[in-house]
């Protein structure tokens, strides 16, 4: 069976930062993170305008945060991204990230949920 290499950045979820984590962190709210960690933050809320085409509908805070991470990487402000570890405290925040990745074509081109297609996104033990 041929092997397909997926160059998109994997996104996984955790409740806290595992030791020796090298991923860039996407953190819900203002939760504390270890010093020296690359962090982008988001709020667990959906876009304000539920109807509309993709090109004119406001993006959710989660989609905006992922876009800021990628933009920093594209500009060279982040030297490399081996993965994004999303720190969430609620199921709603997790669902917000998953929904952003599923609904936003640009994000889907840059990021992928870690794990296999059709499976629940990967949970990283703390």
Compute the C-alpha angle 113/116/122, nearest 5°: 50
> Token pair of 107, please?
């994000």
Which pLDDT value is given to residue 12? 84
Which pLDDT value is given to residue 54? 54
Would you place residue 27 in the very low, low, confident or very high pLDDT band (cuts 50, 70, 90)?
confident
72-86, pLDDT tens digit by residue?
A: 999 999 888 888 989
Whole-angstrom CA distances from 98 to 4, 35, 37, 77, 117 are 23, 27, 23, 25, 13
Q: Other C-beta atoms within 10 Å of 43: how many?
A: 14
The one-character DSSP state at 90 is S
89-122, pLDDT tens digit by residue?
A: 888 888 889 888 988 889 999 999 886 555 555 5
39-69, pLDDT tens digit by residue?
A: 888 887 655 555 555 556 678 888 999 999 9
pTM of structure:
0.71
């Amino acid at each position: 069976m041929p092997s397909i290499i997926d160059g998109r950045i994997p996104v996984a979820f955790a409740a806290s930062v595992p030791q020796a984590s090298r991923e860039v962190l996407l953190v819900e709210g203002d939760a504390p993170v270890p010093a020296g960690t690359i962090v982008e933050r988001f709020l667990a809320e959906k876009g304000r305008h539920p109807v509309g085409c993709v090109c004119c509908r406001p993006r959710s805070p989660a989609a905006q945060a992922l876009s800021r991470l990628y933009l920093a990487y594209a500009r060279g402000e982040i030297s490399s991204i081996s993965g994004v570890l999303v720190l969430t405290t609620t199921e709603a925040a997790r669902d917000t990230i998953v929904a952003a990745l599923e609904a936003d074509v640009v994000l889907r081109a840059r990021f992928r949920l870690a794990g296999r297609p059709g499976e629940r996104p990967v949970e990283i033990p703390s």
